[in-house]
Amino acid sequence: MIAIPKVAAVPGATVGATVDDDDDDEGLVIVTTLLNLPMPLRVYIFNYLGETQEELMDLTHVSKEVHDDCYRPGIAWKIIPTIVISPTPEGGVGSTRALLQRLNNQSPKSKLRRYTHMKINDIHIFNDNISTTEIHEIIGDAEMDWIVSLDMSLSMPNLWVTDYFPNVLIYILPNLREIDISYNIPDNHSIMDVFFECSKFEKVTWNNIKIKSYIAINGTIMESSDNLKEMIMDDSEFSCRFPESDTMSDLKNHKDTFIFHCCSTALERVSIRNAKWVISYYGGRLGPIVVPQNALIKFVWNAPTSLRWFRSDLTIENMNILRLERPKIELLN
């Protein structure tokens, strides 16, 4: 038997393997380099590497041989061509005007068209004020209509994001299907309304929502996204008004009032693990407190028939009961 350890994707990496030999207690040690291994074995190893798109892209830059291996049949993961936009290293300044001018200079037939995903690093730094009129003057009618997914997530939580740069993105990216805005706190709530008014949205990832964002747990901000199929909103604080908080947890009455009842009826996957809500009432508010089990149960009872996956803080006991009632939904916590 040959035991092969996990190795880094470095062309000169040394791979050591031990071959068990019944006649030799010490066994036989074989040492070679990663790229000297048979191609099927290299592909097998590479399938264990890369947990994010950024790591996978870095892997393709290791060497020409590794790049070629990453696109061979047998590779389980898929690299999505990505445009990465970052502030300038010197001083960490993000100029929206300079970015628009560079994009405007790109030919429609440029190599940019092969990229379907855009990643914005440190979007909170792009805070120069630019009007819709000025956007039109710089870029005209040019659009990056081939971009279908946008990652505006931040690596640090609770950073304020002005509406200037998101307003630019809405203007130049008309065909977005997916968006990740995790850890963002929008400076202007109306800009999020504009994002979610896009009826083409199919997936929204917004982890670590804070109550400052005032995202209602009834899903009103997403009610115009008729094609929305997936929502990932873990570790988040939602707003809820009294008495709607009570009716959402009422298992006997108000069948039409439940978590995300204003959302798309095409939902297939929803995750609100570690969800809390802040209840607003006349004269004050209560919370954040953990979303009660009855509210989670009522969502499963009344969720769209399209729902196939729900991750939350439902107890094991409640999940076991709900699996009998809604067997087509995979329940996780």
112-131 confidence digits (pLDDT tens)? 778 888 888 887 777 777 77
pLDDT for 252 beyond 80: yes
> For residue 134, is pLDDT > 50?
yes
On the question of pLDDT at 243 being above 70, the answer is: yes
Higher local confidence (pLDDT), 267 or 94: 267
Q: For position 99, what pLDDT does the model report?
A: 76
pLDDT of amino acid 101: 76
> 184-219: buried (b, 16+ CB within 10 Å) or exposed (e) per residue?
bbbeeeebbeebbebeebbbbbbbbbbbebbbbbbb
220 or 314, greater pLDDT: 314
**pLDDT tens-digit readout, 135-180:** 777 777 677 888 899 998 887 766 667 666 777 787 788 888 998 9
- The residue with greater pLDDT, 261 or 224, is 261
Task: Return the pLDDT at 10.
Answer: 47
Q: For residues 114 and 81, is the Cβ–Cβ distance under 8 A?
A: yes
Residue 18 has a pLDDT of: 53
User: Helix, strand, or coil here: 259?
Assistant: coil
Q: Is the pTM of this model over 0.95?
A: no
Q: How far apart are CA 40 and CA 317, in angstroms?
A: 45
Q: Give mean pLDDT, residues 305-321.
A: 96
As annotated, the residues of the chain forming the CATH 3.80.10 domain(s) are 80-332
Separation of first and last alpha carbons in the chain: 38
What average pLDDT does range 241-253 have in this prediction? 92
Is the peptide bond prior to 108 cis by the omega test (within 30 degrees of 0)?
Answer: no
Domain at 80-332, CATH class: alpha beta
Query: Which pLDDT belongs to residue 27?
Result: 55
Of residues 247 and 34, which shows the higher confidence score?
247
**Helices of type H across 218-315:** 244-248, 293-302
Predicted confidence at residue 1, as pLDDT, reads 36
Do the Cβ atoms of 57 and 82 come closer than 8 Å?
A: yes
β-partners of residue 331 are: 310
Mean of pLDDT values over 194-200: 64
Tokens standing for 1? 């038997």
> Model confidence over 40-99: pLDDT tens digits?
888 887 777 766 666 677 777 778 888 787 778 877 777 777 888 887 765 555 677 777
pLDDT of residue 23: 56
Instruction: For residue range 3-41, list pLDDT tens digits in order.
Output: 434 444 444 555 555 555 555 555 555 566 777 888 888
Q: In the predicted model, is pLDDT for residue 269 greater than 60?
A: yes
pLDDT at 5: 41
pLDDT at position 83 is 83
Q: Give the distance, in angstroms, between the CA of residue 99 and the centroid of all CA atoms in the same chain.
A: 24
DSSP per position, 112-167: GGG--EEEESSGGG------HHHHHHHHTT---TT--EEE---SSSSEEE-SHHHH
